[in-house]
Structure 1
Amino acid sequence: MTTAKQKPCPICKKPRSEEFHPFCSSRCRDRDLAQWFNDGYAVPGPAAAPEDIANED
């Protein structure tokens, strides 16, 4: 893959690293994970009721 066609890091927009793909560094990878843990991202759709989640087993 050529550098000109690579997409940038989704966090800081620097060139991606093969080691941390799709991010440029472990710092950006960890920032993205923190966004998920802190409800910074969400999957679209209706919210699930707590009792529905408990009954999935």
Structure 2
Amino acid sequence: MVPKIISVMQNDASDQSPPLLARLAELLHVLMYLHAGFPELYDPVYDVIKVFKCP
């Protein structure tokens, strides 16, 4: 579900999409860190968000 949402947002031409995608990627990184232990669920998500720079 998350990879599909990110794909749709990446194809959106609005000016609001890039900052929202960056924030979403940051949030997903934090959530995957806090709730570690589910690589089969997180691998597809990580593959999609790894292109975003997260602190």
TM tier, smaller: 0.3 to 0.5
TM-score (norm 2): 0.35
Larger Rg: 1
Structure of greater relative contact order (alpha carbons < 8 Å, 6+ residues apart): 2
